[in-house]
Structures are given as C-alpha cells and as structure tokens.
Structure 1
Amino acid sequence: MGTNSVEGEASHVVTIWEVNKERLAQMEKRISDTTPQLLSIAAGRSTCCIFRVPQSLIDINGRSYQPRIVSIGPYHRGQPKLQMMEEHKWRYLRSLLSRTKEAKGITLEDYLKSIHPLEKDARECYSENIHLGTDEFLEMMVLDGCFILELFRKVDNTKLFEPEDPIATMAWILPFFYRDFLRLENQIPFFVLERLFETSKMPEEESGPSLSLLAMRFFNNIMQRPDPIIETCHDLKGLHLLDLVRSSFIPRDEESPPHEVNTPTHIIHCVSKLRRSGIKLNPGKAESFLVVNFRRGVIDMPTITIDDFMSSFLVNCVAFEQCHNGGSKHFTTYATFLDCLVNTAKDVEYLCDRNIVENYFGTEAEVARFINNLGKDVAFDINLCYLSKLFNDVHEYHGNSWHVQYASFKYTYFKTPWSFISAEIALVLLVLSFLQTFYTIYPYYH
C-alpha cells in the first residue's frame, strides 16, 4: 500500500522548465536599456524633450503631428512617402561640404567627429530608445542637421541657391518645410544644430546672425511678425526648433510660472454670454498673441492669424507642453482660453469682426471646430496658469448682477442701429404725448 502511494506521487512530479538563456539575456538587456529612460521621463528631466505624440491627441487632431514632405530625426525616418526629400538632403550636404572644405579644410569626417561627443545626450532627448548604431545615428544627425542649416542659410541669402534648385523654384515646397520643421515628432536637439552650425560657419559668418536669429528669420517668412521683434531673438534658446519658436512668443517677464492663488480659478463663458454681461473684446497691441489683459469690462486680445501654418504650430506646441514637464504651459493655457470663448461659429464671426482673429483657415464653423479640438483633453493646473487672474476677474465681473441686467437690456434693445433709432423715436413720441397731455390739463387746473 505504501509502495503504491510513493509510486503514484512520483508519477505526478513535474519536469523543471529550462529557461532559454538567450531569451533571458535579451530580456535583461531590454530592462537595463529602458529603465533609465523611463525614469528620466517620469522625473520630468529636461533632457527628454522630443516625444511621440499621445494617441489621445492624435485621435483629436489627426495628422497634424506627422511630417508631410521631410523627415527630421528618427521617428519618421525611412517612410516611403518622405523619400523624395532624402536626395535633396545629400545634395545640400554636398553643397555645404564643398564650401567648408575649400574655405576651412573641414571634411565630412570632421562633422561626424564634432557631434560624436554629443551622441549620448542626443539619444536621451528622445522619449523612446533609438535602435540605431553609433555610425547610423551620427549619420542621421549630420545629414538632417546640415540640411536644416543649409536651407536656413539659402533662404536668408538667396544667392546661395544653386541654379534650378527645386526648393527655390517650386513655390509649394517651402510652406511644407515651415510646418514640418515645427512638428514635435520631427525634431533633433538644438545643441546638435548649434555644434554643426559652429563647425560649418564660414569666415564671413563670424560676425553674422546667430543660429537662433537665422532660424527665426526663416520661420518669419510665414509668420510675418515685425522685424524688430525677430531681431531681438538673437540670444534665444530652445530645446529644439519647435521649442525655440514657441519660446519667442512667451513674454520674457512671464517665463516663470505665477504663484499659486488662494482662491480657486474659474473657467469663463463664451463670447456671446460675455457680451450679454457687458464684457467687450478688443484687439490688443502687444507683441505676442499670448498677452491677454482684462480691464474695466474689456478683454484686450492681440490679433492671431489662423491658417494652415498657425494651426499646425499651435497643436504641436500644446502637444509639447503636455508631454514636457520642465517648461511653461502658456500655449495650453491660451488654447483653453480660446476654447472657453468659442462655442459656435457665431463666436468666431464676432472675433473676426473685432479683428481679433484673422481667418485664413476655412469657414467660421471650421475655425470653431479647430479651436474646440485644440483645447480638448488637455491637462494643466488652472490655478498656476499665467491667465489665472484674468479668469477670475472675468468670472467676477460676469457674476455682477447689475452688469448682467444693464448689459442684457442694452443687448436686447440696442444691439442694432435700427433698434436704437426705434427706441429713440418711441422715447420722443412718449415725451410728446406727455407734453400734449400736460398742456391739455394745465389750463383747466388753473
């Protein structure tokens, strides 16, 4: 009986599974590779600044984050639809090498060696591990970086364009570059561009514009901001080109976040409701559309042009601020502010009539849809945002019952010239009727 029991137990012994040593080594390598990167992202380290856009934002804004004509950096590298521009990259690199080799003896090897010490820091700028070897990674940085620099120089000095250069002769190409160079997923670190810029600088460029100013001049061909504003950007810094241009709109005295307010901040109402409470909206005169003020019942908003470029720029700035923990949330705040103001196409129509919005995007309904999507599903601390005081002041003014009643009366009876004239005629008739009654009764009374 005992022997049979032991034999039964032995028959149920499970064979020990042998771990695949090769697979185990691969998993351990994956763990060691990814953990520091994930920790750096979770800690909000400033080194991580080039992100894949979250799927939640892609679901809202679609293809606004994907390059249309040129790939910069690793995320969209090798996509078939972007291959046409790869030949132009090599052609521009050849053009740059021919100048620097003749003037300074700088060769391709010198460019690769100049950024080799930056490889580790450059890789840490990306939110994902870049599965490229050192040689391939450095080749990508040099090829993409030199292409950007050459295009900046050629657009700034058109004499550098070679005869029959398609980028110079085909008018439709440059607008795509303006947008593609400012997409969050289509970036290389700015310090890589700076190193390549210094390496490739010609003797006559030593006293010329800085890389920041050269970049801002390039993008101003589409932004059309006043030249004096752009010229002040010579010492501006950014984590990449998107952050550089984004930073140029943030007022220098508002770069640090405001102190936390003691009272909770309130979201404001749309344009039509604000108008019924007596609040007016006027075009402001500040240098940046981010500078919004509220005084004595009037919101001053500098004019913003909404077109294909600005719509792409805005959504990518918001995406960057959502992913990067180390910077301000000015564009996210402004997007939320616009989303509050606009509920319908009528609200957009009013903003256009007041010269606050210049619409080159589409119909008023399309602009309203874009603005509502821009502020949709974004996260930020409203109590710490740069417009927190404005939100509270507008909310308090709107909640004043006297303002609401008086403004509602004006809005109802005097919102058009004809209603105002009708009211004046009615008032005159009322006064005449009173005088007629008075002079009829007055003799009998005496």
Structure 2
Amino acid sequence: MEVQMIGGANPNPMNGHGNHHHVVTVATEAARDWSSVVHRRLGQRPTRLKHSAGSYSCCIFKVPGTLLELNPKAYKPRIVSIGPYHHGKEYVHMIEEHKPRFFSALLARTRSFGVDYNDYFNALASKEEEIRDCYSEPLNFGSSELIEMMVLDGCFIIEMFRVIESIVTPEPDDPIFNMLWTFTSFMRDFLHLENQVPFFVLQTLYDMSKCPADPQYSLVELTLRFFNYGVQRPPDVLVKYYGVADVKHLLHLIQMSLINLPPESPREFDDEYLQLVRSVTKLRRSGIKFKPRKCDGWLDIRFNNGVLEIPPLTIDELTSSFFLNCVAFEQCYCYCSQHITSYVTFMGCLMATADDASFLSDHHVLENYYGTYPEVASFFNDLGKDVGFDIGRCYLAGVMEDLNRYYRNQWRVRWTGLKRKYFGNPWSLISALAASLILVLTFIQSFFALYAYVRPPRS
C-alpha cells in the first residue's frame, strides 16, 4: 500500500494560512493481485503427501526423510519393484521383463476353468479408487497403467509363493529359480514398505487363479509359509495366524505374526523408574544377569529376580531389513501396534557399545550374521534415532520399570562391584581368601597375646 501527501509541505494545523493537506491511499497493481495469489495457493493440492494419508485406509508410505538419511539403501528394492513407488526404475528392470512370462504361465492354467486376462483386469479395475486410497502420495499413472501394474505385480508374487511351496513347477531352466541369490533378494524386497501392493489386490488375484486341484491353502497361510524360510518359526506358531483378518499388505502381515505375546495384566507405572534402560555393561554392575529365553518369537522379554531373559535373535541382512522397514511402517501408520519399534528401541539401549553386543552373543542371546559387533551396535542405535516412541504405551514398559528399579538399588550396586573386584576370577578369590585367613590368624594371635597380658598364668 502506498501513502502519498497531496498539497503543501506545511502540516501544522495552527498555521493560519489556507493551506489544505489531504492523505490519499492508492492501491497499487501488486496489492490487487494478492487475492488471486491466495486463491491460487489455496486451490493447490499436496503432491507429496495426500490429505487422506492419515486415514485408516492409507497404509503404504514413502519412508520418512529422517529415517532415509541414516540408511538410504535399506529402503530401496534390490531386484524387483512391487507397486508404483519404484516402478520403471533401472535397478529393477531385469525382473520387470520376466513378469509377463509369469502372468502368461498363470493364464495357461486358469483358462482351463474359464478365467482369462480380462477377468483379472476387470476385477481390479472396479477397485481402482480403493487401490489409490492405500498410497500416501498421488499416483501419476493412468487407470490402465495402474491396473496393469497391479495385475502383473500381484500375480508375480502369488506365482513366486506357489513355486516355492511346490504347488506350481517352474520351467527346468528358469534362470530366476536356478540362481540361489534371487530367493533371499525376493524375500527381502517383498518386505520393503515402499514395495507393497494392498493385500486385497493379492487376495482377489489369488482367489481367481486358484485351481481346484491345488492344495487349499489360504493366502495368509501361503504367505507365512514362504517367509518362514527366512524367519523360521514352528508350524504350530504359524497356525495361530492363518485366520488373521484385516491385513494391509505383506509387511503388515509379518509384523502381526510376530506379536505372539500373552496378555498383560494392567498396572500403574512410576514415572521415576519408567525410563529407557541402561546398557548391558551398566546393568551387569548392579548384578543383573542375562540369559536366553525359550519361546516362540523375539518380543517376549521377561525380567524376574535379577535375571533378564531375552529370546534369541538372529541378526542378518533379512532381519535387519525387516526391522528398518517395519519401524518405518509403524512410524507412518498410527492404526497398527508399535511392538517392533518398542523392541528395537529396547535392544538399542542394551547394546550401546560393541562390548554389549559381544556379551549378548557370548550368552546366546544374539546370533550375529550381520557384521562386526561395532556394526551391530551401530545398527540398533541408528535405528532408534528420530523415532517417535511413547514409553508409557510400550509393551515393555513393565520390564523397563522393574529393570530401573533394580538397577538403582545402591547397596546392590556396591555389593556387586565388590564381588566383581575380589571374586571376579580365581586368582582374585584365592588372594581374598589368603588375606582373610591371614587376618583371622593375626586376630587370633593378637587375642591370645592380649589375654596373656591381662591374665598372666599363675606360677
């Protein structure tokens, strides 16, 4: 807005001369444009994160930048793109060329009972809006391109499951199944957060392509059996999850299948002790012992009578990739549990240094195929950075409170330090016993000398 003075230069109203002064407001061209700028900005829609990304239906996200900075390669698929986020990228082009071949083999079987390619495409075309709602970012694909992607990617996953379970026999010289490295790569890529398709897409394609002579596995059962080659669990544990409902995608299903915990009785927590726990080294100073816990899963950690029982964890490239992507999923999707985030945060607190990781490995709590112990400790510590974590709602809150309460008992800390110093090894023990024996003998000698002086023997 521009202000101009019109008239003489003397503004003094007491001046008796007849000079009149007027203040005139003039709206410039730039001021008249503000309304159009505001309306244009208010009319723009987000292109990176949709407004509906916080809804229950939206479950497939781009990994947050704060997590991506710490380990950018961990969230990118190695050999296969599933869904729209990495579609068409050069680093997944090799397998992309094989997807039509898998779909053609599936069609050759399903045509025998009247299901052709039109049936698959039409079935998913009717769900296009529902599919788009599952992704947190706008999808710059037309209808036909998106549906083609869903059909080819979904059928590729299902055929992979069937081949591994020997429901379908591949060609004798199929290069994908004759190279050992591809299987672990597929398993890892199928569990990337950015590499997902909605589970209802897979379910629709699976139901349509199921041959009457095939084993009557549910898709959930077939999926769990496939991933059990990498994260092995007893069959009776898997059976509990064959009927699980409301699965969002493959990563969500594996996350749910790991939460095999008994119900916790409600309790009130003391804020003074409900804090993150100390490292293994510091906890040992207070007398806390560590031992592996025999149970069916990673998450069921217990603390009783000074003993912290942790289910054995095998850390390798597959489990580390799963942890990274599952934590990212739990950070983005507020409608699922935060069990994996709680677990890796707890383990990161324990393994503050390489010595902590080495100690857990020596006591059969950790089986390390990931790298050096400094790399293992660094992995868990980096994973906990910039992660939202509500300790009051954590399933390990009771364990943390009990650990901290036990740790802060100063008399126990001092007694444990004394035992470690004087009885930590056989030579220290021998030295302490020898010193004690000398002290006792000296006391006896002094006693008798004093006694003889006070009450000398009668002649």
TM-score, scaled relative to structure 2: 0.86
Identify the match of residue 349 of structure 1 among 358, 383, 388. 358
Task: Tell me if 1:324 matches 2:324.
Answer: no
Contact 1:261 1:384 in 2 (8 A): no
**Percent identical:** 44
* 1:24-63 deviation digits (Å, cap 9, x = unpaired): 99988853x869x73322xx32211100001110111221
SS of the residue corresponding to residue 172 of structure 1 reads helix
For 1:301 and 1:107, locate their aligned partners in 2 and report how far apart those are by CA, in whole Å. 51
Q: Which amino acid aligns with 1:340?
A: C
Change (3 A) 1:258 1:146: farther
Task: Tell me if 1:94 matches 2:104.
Answer: yes
For 1:299 and 1:409, locate their aligned partners in 2 and report how far apart those are by CA, in whole Å. 21
1:435 Cα deviation from its structure 2 partner: 5.3
Contact 2:270 2:401 in 1 (8 A): no
**Superposition pairs of residues 327-406 of structure 1, within 5 angstroms:** 327-406=336-415
Counterpart residue number, 1:410: 419
Identify the match of residue 64 of structure 2 among 49, 54, 70. 54
Q: Which amino acid aligns with 1:117?
A: S
Task: Tell me if 1:70 matches 2:84.
Answer: no
1:15 Cα deviation from its structure 2 partner: 10
Q: Kindly name which structure, 1 or 2, has the bigger radius of gyration based on alpha carbons.
A: 2
Identify the match of residue 50 of structure 2 among 38, 44, 59. 38
Task: Tell me if 1:208 matches 2:216.
Answer: yes
Change (3 A) 1:376 1:258: farther
Change (3 A) 1:402 1:202: same
SS of the residue corresponding to residue 358 of structure 1 reads strand
* 1:68-123 deviation digits (Å, cap 9, x = unpaired): 10000000000011100012211111111111112x12101111112222211111
For 1:70 and 1:257, locate their aligned partners in 2 and report how far apart those are by CA, in whole Å. 44
For 2:33 and 2:439, locate their aligned partners in 1 and report how far apart those are by CA, in whole Å. 103
Change (3 A) 1:86 1:12: closer
Change (3 A) 1:90 1:421: farther
How many equivalent pairs are there? 430
Contact 1:268 1:394 in 2 (8 A): yes
SS of the residue corresponding to residue 282 of structure 1 reads strand
Contact 1:257 1:384 in 2 (8 A): no
For 1:125 and 1:434, locate their aligned partners in 2 and report how far apart those are by CA, in whole Å. 82
**Superposition pairs of residues 37-436 of structure 1, within 5 angstroms:** 38-41=50-53, 44-102=54-112, 104-157=113-166, 160-205=169-214, 208-237=216-245, 238-251=247-260, 253=262, 261=269, 263=271, 265-434=274-443
* 1:188-225 deviation digits (Å, cap 9, x = unpaired): 001110111101111023x6221111111111111122
SS of the residue corresponding to residue 93 of structure 1 reads helix
1:441 Cα deviation from its structure 2 partner: 7.2
Q: Which amino acid aligns with 1:81?
A: Y
Change (3 A) 1:371 1:440: same
Contact 1:75 1:186 in 2 (8 A): yes
For 1:272 and 1:404, locate their aligned partners in 2 and report how far apart those are by CA, in whole Å. 12
Counterpart residue number, 2:13: none
1:336 Cα deviation from its structure 2 partner: 1.1
Contact 2:106 2:159 in 1 (8 A): yes
1:261 Cα deviation from its structure 2 partner: 4.3
1:400 Cα deviation from its structure 2 partner: 1.1
TM-score, scaled relative to structure 1: 0.88
Of residues 307-316 and 112-121 in structure 1, the stretch that sits farther from structure 2 once superposed is 112-121
Contact 2:292 2:310 in 1 (8 A): yes
Q: For structure 2, which runs of at least 5 residues remain unmatched after alignment?
A: 1-5, 8-23
Work out which structure has the larger RCO, using CA pairs closer than 8 Å and 6 or more positions apart in sequence.
1
For 1:13 and 1:228, locate their aligned partners in 2 and report how far apart those are by CA, in whole Å. 77
Contact 1:293 1:300 in 2 (8 A): yes
1:18 Cα deviation from its structure 2 partner: 9.7
For 2:447 and 2:325, locate their aligned partners in 1 and report how far apart those are by CA, in whole Å. 71
SS of the residue corresponding to residue 242 of structure 1 reads helix
For 2:32 and 2:297, locate their aligned partners in 1 and report how far apart those are by CA, in whole Å. 66
Of residues 422-431 and 407-416 in structure 1, the stretch that sits farther from structure 2 once superposed is 422-431
Counterpart residue number, 1:6: none
Q: Which amino acid aligns with 1:408?
A: G
SS of the residue corresponding to residue 240 of structure 2 reads helix
Q: For structure 1, which runs of at least 5 residues remain unmatched after alignment?
A: 3-8
